Amino acid sequence: MNVSGVDLNLLVAFDALMEHRNVTRAARAIGLSQPAMSNALSRLRDLFADQLLVRAGAGMSPTPRALEAHGAVRDALAAIDGVLGKVEKFDPARDTRRFRVAFAEDAAYYILPKLAPQFAAAPGIDMDVLSTAHFAGVELVLDGTAEASVGLVPKSPPKELRFQKLFQERTMALAHRGHPAFTSKDGRPVRKIALKDFLAYPHIAIRPSATSRGRIDDALAKIGERRRVAFNIPHFMVAPYLVPGSDLIAGVAERVARRMATELDLVVAEIPAGGEPYDACLAWHRRFDQDRGHMWLRDRILAEGKSLD
């Protein structure tokens, strides 16, 4: 195709349509009338020889061709903005924007309550918080579903993404006060559970997604051991409530464990396998590097995350 015959404004319209999945909202976002945006969508369909967006409930759903093209179009538009030296100032007190950020459950528990008051001073700024229960946060960023994610860095980080450390965490064991594995012979709470005691009781395993595998199970497998898992659950915040009145041991992120221990009169101890520290990071696509609004959001999340260490 000869790109000299392509109206580049159509790419701006395409980006807005993919962002908002609604003709009226997309038109409003870039200052077009609704009929003009409908016309742009029709021309885009001819240009791409694809429907691009089809009706789905109250909004529109992108086709595979649209999802495939969107990342390249956004990168091209960002490059054009950079060449032209277009730098827009972001004013959270006046601007309007809706961010989409994926949070691991424990990270959301730590950070969102601190972040909410800052959004109160930015009345036009909203945020959709996405779950990582079915797809890892980095996958949601890669396919454009989320603009950023807070969670773990994958073993092979995608080169399209940026990562910045927020805080360090580790998994700890949680049980009822007086649990035999958590109590020494003189009746005092132990600091670290012995492996044989750890394996002698049933466990609660937290699996945030259908494909995730716990650190504890990986570490035990390396030494040829396995635990009995009585409950597999996806929720960090539910696990502590299953512990009282039972001999169950829950492996929980340390900050959650210590807060819940106080609330539910439980005890916390180091685990014999899988308790090594790990980093929680903020991840975003490189196309947002110079986006002023995105920079504002990243600064807020980074500040609150780093305050945890």
* pLDDT single digits (tens) 59-87: 889 999 999 999 888 888 877 776 665 55
Sign of torsion, CA 37 38 41 43? negative
pTM, to two decimals:
0.68
The reply to whether 171-276 shares the fold of 97-161+282-306 is: yes
Contact between 43 and 8 (Cβ < 8 Å): no
pLDDT value of residue 291: 87
pLDDT value of residue 227: 96
Domain boundaries, the chain: 3-84, 97-161+282-306, 171-276
Which of the residues in the chain have pLDDT under 70? Answer: 1-5, 82-88, 209-213
- Whether domain 171-276 has CATH 3.40.50.300: no
pLDDT value of residue 86: 52
pLDDT value of residue 284: 94
pLDDT value of residue 230: 95
Q: Domain 3-84 belongs to what topology? A: Arc Repressor Mutant, subunit A (1.10.10)
Architecture of the domain delimited by 97-161+282-306: 3-Layer(aba) Sandwich (3.40)
* pLDDT single digits (tens) 136-164: 888 889 888 899 999 988 888 888 899 99
pLDDT value of residue 3: 58
